Structure 1
Amino acid sequence: MLYKIMKKKYVAKNAWCIYFLFAVILLPFQTKAVTTPVQSTRGLFLEDKVVTIHVRDVSLDEILLLMNKQTSISFGYQEGVIDRERKFSLDVSGVTVEEALRTLFRDSNYDFEYKDERILIVLKSSKSQQTNTPQGRTVKGIVRDQSGTPLPGATVLLKGTTIGVATDINGGYHLLVPQGDQVLVFSLVGMKTREIPYKGQSEINVMMEEDVTEVDEVVVTGYSVRKVSEMTGAAQQFDGKEVSNNMVNGDILSALKGHTTGLQISGSDGNPARNNSLLLRGVGTLYDSKQYPLIVIDGIVTDFTNISGVVAANDIEKITVLKDAASSAIYGSRAAMGVIVITTKKGQKNKLTTSVDMKFGLSVQNFGGLRYMTSEELLDYGKMSLANWWNGNKSLQAKYPDRDRFLRDTLSSLSQNFDLSRTTDWRDLQYQHGVTKSVGVNISGGSERASYYLSYNYFDEKGTKIDNKLTRNFLKLRMDYDVTSFLTLGVNLSGTFSRYESPNSGSFEDYHPWLSPYDENGKLKKSISQWRKFAMYNVDLVNPLMDNRYNSSIMENPLKVVPLIHSNLTPV
């Protein structure tokens, strides 16, 4: 509630508004404070104050200002209580303030009461309601911090009720407390709340302490979850969703390319079973030292870099890259080249979640714009090479005095045995666009104390070479149970099955463009006759397409289930 307070009109026309600023701050919050009739609390304060006023048809504000000027008593009223348009008349001489006010309000619905060393103008109906409330006692005091500085805006509340006030700019407060034992609650944002029993004291001064709450950022290091303040080195984290969205093929680490400073990843040649080379802190100087960073998956240290072979991208919760040698304080000398920590997903308590994820990718082999010769271009190049050979070989010149005849006789077997108008693109026959497909399904949930996570992921990739394929199946089950508030036990089961088909062909640069892998009927030849400079060097070469189709290497890894039992003990 807001009270407008009247003051002496000494300085300016509206200066009375400033004089009672203290009361304006204090009174709005005392919404249910018990009020006491003037008859029982005025004491000698009102009896000693007399006024002489002779006015006619003036506002109530003017009369109250005259009383204030003669007695120094503060007057106030609630906003909206007084009718500003109404005029009052008063003709009294040498009477007390109480008598003057009763005369003034004799034929009106206004009344007055004495409260907190001031007189408040109220409606008679409002006063009758307030006089029925239990009487109480006023408590006052100052709220300060530990250094003694007053705290403005602190809340002083009667516990279990809505009766309360806020401290003023000097930290002071006044509160009317009903009879009986009560508890005062002092609170302020950033300070510890205090509760003080009230047993009739007239003054309670309070000192409040700072309430410092620090939220620690944490980093998953593999063996434990550590605060950033405990990490002396550089760490960079990636969310599992970010990793999955950045993947362009089946390699999980490819998602970190261009996103992690200092991490070099090389070796992606279109082979689905790629094993990338990782450099995080440069090349080690010790002989036969490990060059790639340490890989930690759910707390288990691994000795390989093919993460995609043991973890599905959809099951990754977070990847943390520990970049400098300071991580050796956690992992020892094995972390000298940096650490990559992978944390997999787990179920959320009291929340059932299902997810289906499907992805499709395309890989195109980059040959850098290199174009191979046609049959005609290669024949011209062969003629030029033979001519240069003849020009620099005296014994050959003695045997073949005519250079043109030498070229004609040498190349005759080539034109007789091969169709020089044909140009076979051997690179196009052995390479294709790589296609990647993946499907992941998972379900997770739990209760108040237990959680579970179950997932199945299927991955299929056709490499950029013909007959180069890789399929993987991942199965994961994780269960956690809170035995107590500080002890959690769990089991993590991971199973993988993979099949890899690798072509057996060599380099296609050995096959000239006038050769064909197919016979007259369009079927693959078992072997191909190849011409090399002289007719006497005709040999049979393996047909790479036939070799890839029937002599490819197939490697299968049967289903392997890796059980991991873990526990987490939180210090109390």
Structure 2
Amino acid sequence: MILFLFLSTHLTFSQVTLSLKNGTLGNIIQTIKTQTEYKFFYDDELTKLKVGDINEKNIPVKELLNKVLPPIGVTYKIDSQIIYLYTKHKKEQTPVHKDNPQKKIIKGCVTDSSGEPLIGVSVSVKGTTFGTVTDIDGNYTLTVPSGYNDIQFSYVGFKTELHSISSDGNLNISLNEDAQAIDEVVVTALGIKREKKMLGYSIQELKGDELNKTGDPSVTGALQGKVAGIQMNISGTGLNGSTKITIRGNSSLTDNNQPLWVVDGVPFNDNSSSSASLYGGIDRGGASVDINPEDIESISVLKGPNAAALYGSRAGNGVILITTKSGTRKEGFGINYTGSFTWTHVSETLHRQQLYGQGIDDKYTQSTPYSFGAKLDGHEYVAWNGETMPYSNYTDTFDDYFNTGFSQSHNVSLGNVTDKSNYRLSIGSLNSNGLFQGENLKKINIDLKAGTTINKFLSLDSKVSLSKTKAENRPFNGKNGEIYQLLMLPANIRLTDLQKYYTADKMHVNWYGPQEDVLNPYYVNNQLSNLDDRWRAFGYYSMKINFTPWLHATAKYAFDYYRT
């Protein structure tokens, strides 16, 4: 259990003070931007609207907007500290011409690459002063004078595009993001949003959409190769094998070099429970598998010793900071489903010599497990099981032994946002069959995140994440494992003869021995079975109290329980 309590002078202003005489909407926008962290999207023409005399002290931003905007025919929407302004009744602002020539009315909708409507996009007729902005649903209506055919669409953070008017008068546009058009905003170690260039330490952020492109069911697997300076060595020890992560190289020759995991501002235990060694054991993997990649909004990697100043000595090797998804504003319940199906096949194996068979000194003999015998020339010989067969190379051992792995994952989430609250509930399931016979991993994730603003002084936030991971028949490693036994198998031994690994008189039948490090791989797979089951509950409850516009206190109770 962890309890965080801290005070900060982080400027989370929700109130402003202003005194205007015969002011404009542009004066109010500038005041709010100066005294708070809000940003604005609006049409430049709106800044010229007169709002009259205003004299307010410590007035909430929403109260101020509700007071001054309706009389001038302007409404607003707040989303992620961005205030969108648009005309409610007036669809466009166009100059008035007494000798107005023949005009054409066009309509359309502007969306982003994912199909979400964009609010406040500037739509104008190139070469004229005719223009308008899109409404809350991304729709617009524009009057185009005779003789003009090119419509320009511009929006902060997106590439400006020019399109010709269609014959039917409808022009629907999808704008593409311009990654270099705006300053990158990241979530810092304390969960505060800041422009990346203003941070005093190195950080790289990866969005959840980019993370989940490969459909990898584990966070470490999905993160591999996507962040510069981070090295990940994923072990080949079966499903959810342990991963060694280092950021900018090792910081110690003898100690742990793993970075610290932090989820929504709370340290997350990623200890591995592996018992794999040279002489056996199994690898149960790290606890990061308990995180559902579909619940991740972004991952930030803190790459420097300065990370230790934020989280102590545990963060000396760097920090992997995960921000999980919250509810987003959508119609209805905002239900979303994602699923993936993955097939896995052994793509490459070690090359083994296939010229000589079992024996020693260029002669075949059953008295040794080594492959220094006669050449595999196909002559008839009596094999270890008493059967007469050609002394030949019998196919590729690894390709014949391993299965084709199959994994399926499903995730359903629902959530929404109101002016004072938000929630998101997600349920995910994973079922994976590995390359080894009988190897299986099943996982269930339930994640609930919710928050509400009680009043201007008090807000609450919470997260509860439950997971259950069950693995069966993880492969044994080292000299007692199946891989080692396959590597040591002479080329003249047929795998089909080893599949019957026991008889009524003998529990363990093998081509040699058996002895401690010479075992039948099918015996290892079937007789040395294993099962591990882990339950985990992780989350926090937090309360934020605003004392003044420049001072607040946050108390956070965090928990991380797990049972194996």
TM-score (norm 2): 0.52
> 1:349: Cα distance to partner?
5.0
> 1:418: Cα distance to partner?
4.8
> 1:496: Cα distance to partner?
0.5
Alignment counterpart, residue 527 of structure 1, candidates 483, 508, 514: 508
Once the two structures are superposed, the pairs formed by residues 239-278 of structure 1 within 5 Å of their partners are: 239-247=207-215, 249-269=216-236, 271-278=238-245
Quickly say closer, same or farther: Cα 1:156–1:434, change in 2 above 3 A: closer
Partner of 2:258: 292
> 1:416: Cα distance to partner?
8.9
Partner of 1:12: none
Alignment counterpart, residue 301 of structure 1, candidates 244, 267, 271: 267
Partner of 2:538: 562
> 1:267: Cα distance to partner?
2.0
Q: In the alignment, is residue 473 of structure 1 matched against residue 434 of structure 2?
A: no
Alignment counterpart, residue 357 of structure 2, candidates 378, 383, 408: 378
Once the two structures are superposed, the pairs formed by residues 408-423 of structure 1 within 5 Å of their partners are: 417-421=386-390, 423=394
Partner of 1:177: none
Structure (1 or 2) with the larger CA radius of gyration? 1
Q: In the alignment, is residue 545 of structure 1 matched against residue 516 of structure 2?
A: no
Query: Secondary structure of 1:353's partner?
Result: coil
Identity %: 23
Quickly say closer, same or farther: Cα 1:235–1:431, change in 2 above 3 A: same
Quickly say closer, same or farther: Cα 1:285–1:267, change in 2 above 3 A: same
Residues 250, 272 of structure 1: 8 Å contact kept: no
Q: In the alignment, is residue 347 of structure 1 matched against residue 308 of structure 2?
A: no
What letter matches 1:417 in structure 2? G
Residues 238, 475 of structure 2: 8 Å contact kept: no
> Residue deviations 1:240-275, cap 9 Å, x none?
11111134x332122333321110011242621211
For residues 336 and 442 of structure 2, the distance between their equivalents in structure 1, rounded to whole angstroms, comes to 22
> 1:552: Cα distance to partner?
1.3
Quickly say closer, same or farther: Cα 1:158–1:287, change in 2 above 3 A: closer
Query: Secondary structure of 1:273's partner?
Result: coil
TM-score (norm 1): 0.51
Quickly say closer, same or farther: Cα 1:349–1:467, change in 2 above 3 A: same
Q: In the alignment, is residue 356 of structure 1 matched against residue 328 of structure 2?
A: no
Partner of 2:139: none
Q: In the alignment, is residue 448 of structure 1 matched against residue 410 of structure 2?
A: no
Gaps of 5+ in 1: 1-152, 161-214, 388-403, 405-410
> Residue deviations 1:397-419, cap 9 Å, x none?
xxxxxxx9xxxxxx987589354
> 1:516: Cα distance to partner?
4.8
Query: Secondary structure of 2:242's partner?
Result: coil
Partner of 1:433: 404
> 1:461: Cα distance to partner?
1.8
Query: Secondary structure of 2:335's partner?
Result: strand
> 1:156: Cα distance to partner?
8.8
Residues 293, 337 of structure 1: 8 Å contact kept: yes
> 1:324: Cα distance to partner?
1.8
Partner of 2:312: 332
For residues 456 and 269 of structure 2, the distance between their equivalents in structure 1, rounded to whole angstroms, comes to 35
For residues 446 and 158 of structure 1, the distance between their equivalents in structure 2, rounded to whole angstroms, comes to 32
For residues 438 and 518 of structure 2, the distance between their equivalents in structure 1, rounded to whole angstroms, comes to 20
What letter matches 1:283 in structure 2? N
For residues 258 and 496 of structure 1, the distance between their equivalents in structure 2, rounded to whole angstroms, comes to 26
For residues 335 and 500 of structure 1, the distance between their equivalents in structure 2, rounded to whole angstroms, comes to 30
For residues 225 and 276 of structure 1, the distance between their equivalents in structure 2, rounded to whole angstroms, comes to 29
> 1:482: Cα distance to partner?
0.8
Quickly say closer, same or farther: Cα 1:425–1:369, change in 2 above 3 A: closer
Q: In the alignment, is residue 234 of structure 1 matched against residue 202 of structure 2?
A: yes
Partner of 1:219: 186
Quickly say closer, same or farther: Cα 1:450–1:262, change in 2 above 3 A: same
For residues 418 and 368 of structure 1, the distance between their equivalents in structure 2, rounded to whole angstroms, comes to 30
Once the two structures are superposed, the pairs formed by residues 57-456 of structure 1 within 5 Å of their partners are: 218-228=185-195, 230-247=198-215, 249-269=216-236, 271-285=238-252, 287-288=254-255, 290-304=256-270, 306=286, 308-349=288-329, 351=331, 352-368=333-349, 370-371=351-352, 373=354, 377-378=356-357, 382-384=360-362, 417-421=386-390, 423=394, 425-456=396-427
What letter matches 2:292 in structure 1? A
Query: Secondary structure of 2:312's partner?
Result: helix
What letter matches 1:509 in structure 2? L
What letter matches 1:293 in structure 2? P
What letter matches 1:463 in structure 2? G
Quickly say closer, same or farther: Cα 1:239–1:307, change in 2 above 3 A: farther
Once the two structures are superposed, the pairs formed by residues 18-57 of structure 1 within 5 Å of their partners are: none
Quickly say closer, same or farther: Cα 1:296–1:251, change in 2 above 3 A: same
Quickly say closer, same or farther: Cα 1:450–1:350, change in 2 above 3 A: farther
**Structure holding more helix per residue:** 1
Gaps of 5+ in 2: 1-44, 53-181, 272-285, 366-373, 375-379, 550-564
Partner of 2:72: none
RMSD: 3.8
> 1:238: Cα distance to partner?
1.0
For residues 220 and 326 of structure 1, the distance between their equivalents in structure 2, rounded to whole angstroms, comes to 16
Moved more, 363-372 or 257-266: 363-372
> 1:541: Cα distance to partner?
6.2
Partner of 1:81: none
> 1:330: Cα distance to partner?
1.9
What letter matches 1:278 in structure 2? I
Residues 528, 541 of structure 1: 8 Å contact kept: no
> 1:321: Cα distance to partner?
0.9
For residues 464 and 204 of structure 2, the distance between their equivalents in structure 1, rounded to whole angstroms, comes to 28
Larger relative contact order (C-alpha < 8 A, sep ≥ 6)? 2
What letter matches 2:345 in structure 1? V
Quickly say closer, same or farther: Cα 1:255–1:542, change in 2 above 3 A: closer
